[in-house]
Every structure is written in structure tokens, then in C-alpha cells.
Amino acid sequence: MSSRFGDTDDAVLTLLDNMIWPILGLVILGVLVFVPQTLRNVRSVQLLLWAAVPLGLLVLAESLCLLSGHFDLSIGSIAGFSAMFTGMLLGTCPSCWNVVSSPWIGFGIILGAGALIGLANGVMIARVGLNPFLQTLAFLIIFEGAKTAMQTQPVTGLPALYLDIGGTPNFAIGVLLVAFLAFGLLMRFSRFGQAVYALGSSEKSAREVGIDTSRLIIVIYTISGVLSAIAGLMLTGFVGVVPPLIGEGLVFQAFAGAVIGGISLFGGRGKITGALGGVILIQLVQSALNNSTAVGATEIQMINGFVLLVAILLYSTQSKIRSRILASGSV
């Protein structure tokens, strides 16, 4: 009898760990019934996935930080600042600096900018001892302000190759899928992935088994910064220019995508594949809202807030059920 209960609890825990997929299935059915034009053909699905690429890379960056027991509020501003700074160097608009013409140098600059900001985040948190919330909030404000100080108009005249990376739908979608596949394998099978989970479960225990937690935190934030910069590059290619509001507000959607995908807010638990499901769900809801005639453009931000609230409620319910099952001792 106890074995049967144990099997049932195992099944419930597995369902909880993969809750995103049945939810995504239900949302797809709802969209097909109420806003069918969102998924009317292959081209529509391709556009949806293409639009999800920048958000997906930010969700990946946030998921990595969350799994380690930390978080990063500055990912959207890193994406925006890196894209704007590089755009000003490459662009030929009247107010652009136009000091670099090679798109390859542009790739290096945008990735380097993201890496340096992420590195600074990691050093301030791991070595100086600043609270991750305060540190990344400060960088969010600083780099949002720096972006606006550089330019308040769209940056145009960027090299074609620089735009092609994010502007070619199949290539951009491929980058997103390869990134999730690579990090999924890395987190599951590598020592780095196991160290991140160990750090997220207990920093003290991780340190006691020989993990250099300070260095690991710095590496995690540096990777987060690079992924954020790639998101900025993809967003630039998707739009075709660097808009002045690039990257703003994306951090909240990234949090929602990671949490809906099953990444624990307290670290140490969650799957990268689940986070990918969260990305698709968030973008599907966004596209359905944009296509719906019942929802005005001014109401979309409010509904996005409700989506984040639902994500938090789902996470809370999931955690309570998991704790109750584990406390029963049947698994």
C-alpha cells in the first residue's frame, strides 16, 4: 500500500517538475479557439518564435542566476546599453559616433560590453559582498540612464551583416535553440552545472565540498552579461535599428518565463528545458494579446503584470505541494 502511495507521490512530483508543458498545451488550445490568427500558419509560428529569441536569451541568463541562488535585475539594461553603445560606434546616423565600420568588431564590442558589466556584477557581489538585489538594481538604473544619455533617437545605418544575425528568422531561432540545448547539457552533465545547483541549494555546503563559490558567482554573472548582450544583438537585428527604449521592461518577462518554467526562486532546482517552455508561453500570450481585438494596446502592460502574478501563484502552489509530499516521507 505504502509503495503505491510512494509511486503516486513520485508521479505528482514529476508532474510538478514538468508543469509548464501541460499548461502550455492548454494555453495553445485557448489561443486556437479565441485568437486563432496567432497560429494560423507556419509563417505565424515562425514569427512568434523569432520574436521570442531576445526574451529567450534573457530568460536563460536569469535562469542561470536563479539556479545559483542569486538573481539579476540588470539583464534588460545590459542588453539595451550594450546594443546602444555598439550601435553608436557602428551607426551612420547624424548623431552617431561612427568610429567603427567592421561588423565583426561590432560583435566583439557588444559581447565585450556585456561580459564586462556581468563581470562587474559578479565581483561586486562575490568579492565586495553586496546584496545581489541592490547591486543589480543599481546597474539597472545606471545603464538605463547611460543608454538614454547616449541617444534618445533610433540609431540607424548599421552594417548589414551586424543586423543579419538577429534579422534572419531561422538563424536567430537556431541560435536560441542551440543556446538552450548547450546550457541544458552543461547544467545536467558538467561539473560546472552540478556546482551551480550545489551553490543554489546551499552556499555553505558547496564551499565545504571544495567549490570556489566566489569564482563561480563571478563566472555566472559574466555568462549572464554575455547572454544579455546577445539578446541586445538579436533585438537590434529583429527591429533593424537600435530603438531608444531597447531592452526596457524585459527583466520582468524574463523572471516570469523562468518561474513559469519551473526555475526555483530560491535556487538549486529547475530545468533549462522548462525555462524554454516558459519563454514560448510568455511569447504566445504576448502575441495573442497583440492579435486580439478585445484587448487594447494600453492594457497589455497591465495584463503582463497579471501573467507575472499568476506565475508567482503557480510557483507558490507548486512549492507547497512539493513540501507537503516530501514532509510525508513517502518518497
Contact indicator for 58, 79 with CB cutoff of 8 Å: yes
pLDDT tens-digit map of 14-58: 887 788 898 899 989 999 999 999 998 999 999 999 999 999 999
The Cβ of residue 181 has, within 10 Å, a number of other Cβ atoms equal to 13
Half-sphere exposure (Cβ direction) of 282: Cα atoms closer than 13 Å: 35
Rounded Cα gap, residues 282 and 60, in angstroms: 14
> For the chain, how many residues are written?
331
Rounded Cα gap, residues 289 and 292, in angstroms: 5
Band of pLDDT at residue 61, cut at 50, 70 and 90: very high
Contact indicator for 62, 72 with CB cutoff of 8 Å: yes
Side chain identity at residue 296, one-letter code:
G
In our burial notation (b when 16+ CB lie closer than 10 A, e otherwise), range 263-293 reads bbbebbbbbbbbbbbbbbbbbbbbbbbebbe
Q: Is the pLDDT of residue 8 over 80?
A: no
pLDDT tens-digit map of 155-212: 999 999 999 999 999 999 999 999 999 999 999 999 999 999 999 999 999 999 999 9
The rounded percent of the chain whose pLDDT value lies above 90 is: 72
Rounded Cα gap, residues 97 and 294, in angstroms: 44
Describe the crossing of helices 160-167 and 169-189 by its angle, rounded to 10 degrees.
60
